[in-house]
Structures are given as structure tokens and as C-alpha cells.
Chain A
Amino acid sequence: MGKVIGIDLGTTNSCVSVMEGSEPVVISNAEGNRTTPSVVAYSSDKQVLVGQAAKRQAVTNPEKTLFAVKRLIGRKFDDEYIQEDMKSAPYGIVKAKNGDAWVEVDGNKMAPPQVSAEILKKMKKTAEDYLGTKVDGAVVTVPAYFNDSQRQATKAAGKIAGLEVKRIINEPTAAALAFGLDKLKKDGVIAVYDLGGGTFDISIIEMTNVDGEYQFEVLSTSGDTHLGGEDFDSILMNHFIGEFKNESGFDLNTDPMALQRLKEAAEKAKIELSTTEQTEVNLPYITADASGPKHFVHKITRAKLESLVGDLVKRSLEPLKTALKDAKLSPKDIDEVILVGGQTRMPMVQKAVTEFFGKEARKDINPDEAVALGAATQGAVLSGDRSDVLLLDVTPLTLGIETLGGVLTPMIEKNTTIPTNKSQVYSTAEDNQTAVTVHVLQGERKKASDNKSLGQFNLTDIPAAPRGTPQIEVTFDIDANGIINVSAKDKSTNVEQSITIQGGSGLSDEEIEKMVKDAELNAEEDKKFEELIASRNMADGLASSTKKAMEENKDELTEDESKSLGEAISNVEEACKSESKEDIDKAVEELSKIAQPLSDKLFKKEAPEQTTEESSDDKPEDAVDAEFKEVDDEKDK
């Protein structure tokens, strides 16, 4: 069976998504945008424009530019709601023979599904261009409050667009699927707060186990059909217009070009204030008069924006109370709160919702795309694409080995899908080192000792060689059951040692979470440690190579030179014993200063050796990334 796509057919914007592997992805349209305006226009030469292009020509063709048709779909003309909307709609809304609300363009009456079909066609084409194959099945989302005739009309729109609508699902349910709530495998009540571009919906849904499958049931819905992000933009824009009038006496309302620039600037400022505390709107040459050009430069803080739009946010809380009351629940009965719609990126909105429910809201999925992603997830289930048989595990924590300086060098990063394996070549840290210890660790901290030790073994009988020369290949293999096999092989002798760790992730979920949190909390400290070790390893290497060079080229150096060089080397060695990166760096700098002028003398004889090292660098698979410390004396365990 072919791919089944997921379509979020929105009032202001629509979005299409498809399952790829185990994750749904949003597909960008031909113009490069991840969402498409739900606008359809009929030009005088009978051409149909959909999306961005339709929106751009709206002022030239208002009677034939249809937007927010979703408000009409499946409704009766005499519906109070339609009568209210008709007052503001620039296009004709008429009564069809069956009493439905239809639109009228150039004297032609059209059913809303015909118009919505144009949007669906565009979404279908977007998906087909991306996938390179024909798409004929789709899951389309509708608001939870849609009645049967509205759902049937949406289904009809799909049919007209050449799509078999495999299922109509509720937007809040799709959002819950996108957040993976069905995978929690527990009963619960979810509140979906959806503040989009032009409409606001709150849905209370219940997730229950029905014969082993998790199903969602809508308990109640409420909302405000004329509240959305665009209202936030226009409040901010009016604020700017007022400010400019105060400063310069100009009313920008009369200048369409200035309004256009202000509108864009207001939306941009609003978005920026979700991540920064203050931003500056800078619109040079916004207008001009006899005295010369006028610029609009205005600083705005997040606090100011919040004071301007506070009422809008408050307005969204009323429907929350209604929805809870209708569901006969109180805020504490809600197990999960999820945020959908771009406007929920605003910290003030997030805070208000969190305070209302007394619970942190989930916002880890792009709120503009959650509904489409959930629809694609459902689509994959229906097309049989998502087989739970092959749902593979991931490693919850990073696995690695301890290397020089007591550092955890990762081999398999956390969240890697298993079964998997990885090999890497390491070398020795000391000259003539004949054994190495492979210490297997699990965790996210940089310092080896801060992680969980899973086991260790020694690889012995390495032929004596200068540091960095032996090539020891370490291989990690995790099978589908999570059993870890670690082996180390000396590539010159093929001598091999290995260890098998049963149930390597024998940690409870809480322990894993704690380890991940610990790493986040100690990120700063870990970074310092990592830098210290890097400095120390570098210093240690420099001291030892300089020392070696000095001994080999004794005759070339004067007594004074040898003396100051020797002192600088022992200073570095001394500094390496300390825990201070500054001391080490300072000593290294001193040593470099003394060694630099002598480099001709020091490294004369070593030149050929250098070239061989370089040539081995050409082979990335043989590259040595880290070095082992020397084995402890007690080799036998």
C-alpha cells in the first residue's frame, strides 16, 4: 500500500506531513514554506491560486479571494455563526438549495468542500513532489467540536481533491499522538491548548486502554473562534502607530506601505520577544515630509508586550474553565497539558497555562506542526507502515571507555538505536607500554570516575614501542537485547581480549534520568575538567617530546640553552600535577617561548620521522583519537 499522508487543514494555515522511518516529517511546499496559507483565489482568467500567491493578490481581488472557508464547511446558511461571519467576509456567502452555506464567485455558487479541495490538492502535490510517487490516501484533521456534517463535508473535500480520506481525526488527538502520549501506555486525561493564527481551541481528551490499544475520547471542548496570534500582532502594531504619532505627529494608518512594513516588524518583534527580554524595531525612512525623511526606531521589552496583550491571554483562560466544567473535572485532574499553535511559543501564554493547570505544559514538539505530525503518525498506522514488531530500543546513556587523564571517551552516544557496533583505534600513553586497561563506562559526565563502571579488562603483551605507535582497536557491540560486548585487539599481533556485559542498562528509568540530569547540572564543571585534561595531556606530550628531542640533540645546544630548557620542562611537569589549567598553560607558554628559537636544533634529526607520521594520517580509519593510561600494577584479577 502507498504512503498515507497527514494533513492539518487549518482555518488560516495548512500543513502536510508524512512518516519517514519511525518519525513523521513536515514537507515544505514549492515556495519553501512548511505551512501554506489556507487561501484560495479565482482570477479573472479562471485561474485558481492557492496559498501564498492567493494571499498576495487579495487586495486586488477581494470578492474572489476565499479565506477561512473552514468556518463555513458543513454549516447551514441560517446558522447564527454564519450570519455573524457574513458581516465581515469580503466574499459572497449564499444559501444553497439544501440550506447549506455556500460561497459565490463570479455568480457561480460553490460548496465549501470544493474550495477546501483546492487546498488539499496543493498539499497532496507538495507531498507527491517530495516523495516522488503518487499519494492517494490521507488522514485529515478537524476540530474536536466538528459535528457529523462538518466531518462529512471535510471528507468530501478530500474526495474532490483525489484523496481517499482514510480517517478524519480530531486535532487534539493528532497533537497527543505527535507528542507520543499513546506510547505512555497509561490511562489519563489530557488538555490540549491550541492557540493558532486566528482561532483558539481548548480540548479535554481522555486516553483509555481499549483491548490493548490506546484510544482517545473527547470529553469537552471550548474556545474562541476569533482569537489568535494575528490579534497579538495587530495590538503591537497599533502600539507602534500610537508611539510614532506621539513622537512625530504622523499617522501611519494612512500609508499602506508603512503599515505593511510595520505589520512585518510587529510580528518579528513579537517572535523575538519570546526568546529575548528586549528588542529594537528599526524601520528607517518609514515616511517623509517637507522637513525630510522620518525613521521609526523603537525599543520594546517583553514586559511591555505582555502588558499590551495581557487581556488576550486572560481571554483564553475563560474557555479553559468552561471546558473543565463541561468535562466535570478540575485542573488537578489533568494528567498532561500540551501546547499547539505558534502563539503558544510566547512565554506569557505558557506561564498562564502552567499556572492554570498547576502543571508544566509539554512543548517539545513544534507547535505549528504537531497536528500534521500526529495525522501522519496515524496515517502510517493505517497504511501498516508502522509495525511495532520492529520498534527498536535505544541506548539510554552514552557508553565509552576511560582514556588518558581519566576522561570518558564516548564510543556509542546516548539515544543510538540498537543493535549497533562501533570500532575505534586507540594507542598507548607511555613509551614501551606493554599493556592497556579497557575500562567500560556508562554515563554522560566527562570525568570517568563520575560515571557508572560496567567492567574492565587488560590487553597485555603489546610489543614495546614509543607512545602513540601501537594500534589498539576497541570494538563495542550491543545486540538487540542490550548485551554489550567490548573487545580490544592489538593490530600488530592480533592478540585480542574481550568482556561481555549482561544487561548493561540495568539501571532503572529514574537512575537514568538522574544521570542525564546530573550531566546537565554539571555541564560547566565538566567542561572545565575536559579543558584541564586537554591542557594537561597536551603539556605532558610537549614536555616529553621536548625532553626526548633535547636528549637526542644534546650536542647542538649550548649549556645555557640546555639548562633553561630543562628548567622549563620540569616546570611543565610540575604544573601538570596541579589542578590549575592556568598554571599548566602558563608553563607551556614559557616552554614554547624557550623551545621555539631552538626548534631548528631540537628537531633536526626527527624530520624524517615526522613525515611517516603524516603519511599515516591519510588513513582516517587508523587515526588515533585518544590514548590509554598505563595499566595498574595488579594486572591479574
Chain B
Amino acid sequence: MSEKEIKKEEKELEENSTQDEAQDPESKDDLNSLTYEELLEQVDKQKEETLRAVAELENYRKRSSNEITNALKYANSELLLSIIPLITSLEKSVEGSEDAEKIDKEGIMLILNSFEKTLENFNIVPINPSGQEFDPEKHEAVSTVNNPGEKDNFVTNTLERGWTLNERVVKPALVVVNKK
């Protein structure tokens, strides 16, 4: 250890001891009973412990960011597993209809229903704003119309429903707004 470093530590030591005095009057006696070498040793020990704590925090951060990456990678598997049967059903509906022009509407409606049910199970809920007041937090205005018979700033037509996931808007509803 160089002389400079020793001096620096002495200074740190002084700071530490004054702090201790302020916080805990008893520790002053403890410190006074220690030799200079013992104090130096304590400082070294504390320094080492601090370094290790900081390093561990840093490593913890690295580990958790890896874990988050991995967790995100497979976070969708449950949702995916419940969507796959719907794809199978859709495939069947196409296979089943011999005439390509005519697709069984009842079957498609059933699939659509179970699709919505599945999404609902994952707390993915549609936003259907027809007839409501325009709310830019949940709706996105695609265009405006001027229908004197309807209220100003109300949704006259929903072009595409929006969706929320756990109450947060993931896709706003696309709407036409009445403007006077």
C-alpha cells in the first residue's frame, strides 16, 4: 500500500470515527480501546465488505435482467397454447367446406366466439365505443363527419374495435367522430 493510500485511509478513519461518535456515544470507547493497526484492519474489512456488496448488487442486476429477458421470451406460451386450437378449428372449417365460395358461417361464428372467450381469459377485453363520447385515451379518430342529428364529439361509427390488456389500452378503437 502506498503512503498516499494510507493517508487517505487515515482520513476516512477519522471521518468514520466522528460519525460514530455522533451516532453512538458508546462506540467511542470501543474505538479508543483499539490499536491503530486494529482500526486499520477494521477499515480494510469494511472497505472489502462495501466493495463486495456493490459488486453483488451489480451482479444481481445482470442476473435479473437476464431472467427478465428469458421470462419475456416464453411469457406468451400460455396464450399461444390456447390460440392454437382456434387455428386448428379454422383449418377444419376451410377443409370442411367443399365449395370454396361457401364457408360455414355458423362454424366461423363459433370460432370467433371462442376466440373472444380465450382473450377474455387473459384479461384482453374489447373496446366497443359506438354511441359513446369520443375518448382519445381509448379511441383513435380516423375521420370526422357532420351529422346534425347526433351529438358533438360522439362516436358515430366504430371501424375497428380496440383492445385492453389488464385495463391498459393496447390497441385503441378506430372510430369516426361527429363534429359540428
Q: What chain A residues lie within 8 Å of B57 (beta carbons)? A: 21
Question: Interface-forming stretch among B34-42, B120-128, B141-149?
Answer: B141-149
Does A257 contact B174, Cβ atoms closer than 8 Å?
Answer: yes
Q: How far does the alpha carbon of A23 sit from the alpha carbon of B64 in the complex, in Å? A: 14
- Given A54-B136, A60-B153, answer yes or no on A392-B51 (Cβ-Cβ < 8 Å): yes
Within 8 Å of chain A (Cβ to Cβ): is B172? Answer: yes
Q: How far does the alpha carbon of A53 sit from the alpha carbon of B136 in the complex, in Å? A: 5
Within 8 Å of chain A (Cβ to Cβ): is B90? Answer: no
Within 8 Å of chain A (Cβ to Cβ): is B116? Answer: no
At the interface, is chain B mostly helix, strand, loop or mixed? mixed
Which residues from 50 to 69 on chain A have a C-beta closer than 8 Å to any C-beta of chain B? 53-54, 56-60
Within 8 Å of chain B (Cβ to Cβ): is A420? Answer: yes
How far apart are B125's CB and chain A's nearest CB, in angstroms?
Answer: 16
Does A257 contact B51, Cβ atoms closer than 8 Å?
Answer: no
Q: What chain B residues lie within 8 Å of A41 (beta carbons)? A: 136
- Quick one: which of B48, B139, B169 contacts A419, CB cutoff 8 A? B48
Does B58 contact A392, Cβ atoms closer than 8 Å?
Answer: yes
Does A257 contact B54, Cβ atoms closer than 8 Å?
Answer: no
- Quick one: which of B55, B144, B153, B168 contacts A44, CB cutoff 8 A? B153
| Mask of B104-137 contacts with A, CB within 8 angstroms, 1/0 | 0000000000000000000000000000001011
Within 8 Å of chain B (Cβ to Cβ): is A31? Answer: yes
- With an 8 Å Cβ cutoff, the count of chain A residues facing the other chain is 30
Q: What chain B residues lie within 8 Å of A257 (beta carbons)? A: 142, 159-160, 174
Within 8 Å of chain B (Cβ to Cβ): is A418? Answer: yes
Does A59 contact B139, Cβ atoms closer than 8 Å?
Answer: no
- Quick one: which of B52, B55, B136, B153 contacts A56, CB cutoff 8 A? B136
Q: What chain A residues lie within 8 Å of B59 (beta carbons)? A: 416-417, 420
Within 8 Å of chain A (Cβ to Cβ): is B61? Answer: yes
Does B172 contact A480, Cβ atoms closer than 8 Å?
Answer: no
Q: How far does the alpha carbon of A57 sit from the alpha carbon of B136 in the complex, in Å? A: 6
Q: How far does the alpha carbon of A417 sit from the alpha carbon of B174 in the complex, in Å? A: 49
Q: How far does the alpha carbon of A179 sit from the alpha carbon of B118 in the complex, in Å? A: 44
Does B54 contact A420, Cβ atoms closer than 8 Å?
Answer: no
Within 8 Å of chain B (Cβ to Cβ): is A580? Answer: no
- Given A260-B142, A480-B51, answer yes or no on A60-B58 (Cβ-Cβ < 8 Å): no
Does A60 contact B141, Cβ atoms closer than 8 Å?
Answer: yes
How far apart are B99's CB and chain A's nearest CB, in angstroms?
Answer: 14
Q: How far does the alpha carbon of A479 sit from the alpha carbon of B49 in the complex, in Å? A: 11
Q: How far does the alpha carbon of A260 sit from the alpha carbon of B136 in the complex, in Å? A: 16
Q: What chain A residues lie within 8 Å of B177 (beta carbons)? A: 59-60
Q: How far does the alpha carbon of A23 sit from the alpha carbon of B62 in the complex, in Å? A: 11
Which residues from 214 to 272 on chain A have a C-beta closer than 8 Å to any C-beta of chain B? 256-257, 260-261
Which residues from 143 to 174 on chain B have a C-beta closer than 8 Å to any C-beta of chain A? 143-144, 153, 159-160, 168-170, 172, 174
Q: How far does the alpha carbon of A475 sit from the alpha carbon of B4 in the complex, in Å? A: 34
Within 8 Å of chain A (Cβ to Cβ): is B179? Answer: yes
Q: How far does the alpha carbon of A20 sit from the alpha carbon of B60 in the complex, in Å? A: 13
Q: What chain A residues lie within 8 Å of B54 (beta carbons)? A: 390, 392, 417
Within 8 Å of chain B (Cβ to Cβ): is A305? Answer: no
Q: How far does the alpha carbon of A20 sit from the alpha carbon of B61 in the complex, in Å? A: 10
Does A32 contact B168, Cβ atoms closer than 8 Å?
Answer: yes
- Given A59-B142, A417-B58, answer yes or no on A31-B168 (Cβ-Cβ < 8 Å): yes
Q: What chain A residues lie within 8 Å of B144 (beta carbons)? A: 59-60
Q: How far does the alpha carbon of A480 sit from the alpha carbon of B174 in the complex, in Å? A: 58
How far apart are A26's CB and chain B's nearest CB, in angstroms?
Answer: 13
Q: What chain B residues lie within 8 Å of A479 (beta carbons)? A: 48
How far apart are A410's CB and chain B's nearest CB, in angstroms?
Answer: 14
User: What 4 pairs across the A-B complex have the smallest Cβ distances?
Assistant: A417-B58, A57-B136, A56-B140, A53-B136
Residue numbers of A with Cβ under 8 A of B are: 20-23, 31-32, 41, 44, 49, 53-54, 56-60, 256-257, 260-261, 390, 392, 415-420, 479-480
Can you report 18 A-B residue pairs in the complex whose CB atoms are below 8 A from each other?
A22-B58, A23-B61, A31-B168, A32-B168, A44-B153, A58-B141, A59-B143, A59-B144, A60-B177, A392-B51, A392-B54, A392-B58, A416-B59, A417-B55, A419-B52, A420-B56, A420-B59, A479-B48
Contacts A59-B141, A257-B160, A260-B159 aside, 11 further interface pairs with beta carbons under 8 A come to A21-B57, A44-B153, A53-B136, A56-B139, A59-B142, A60-B144, A60-B179, A390-B51, A390-B54, A392-B58, A420-B56
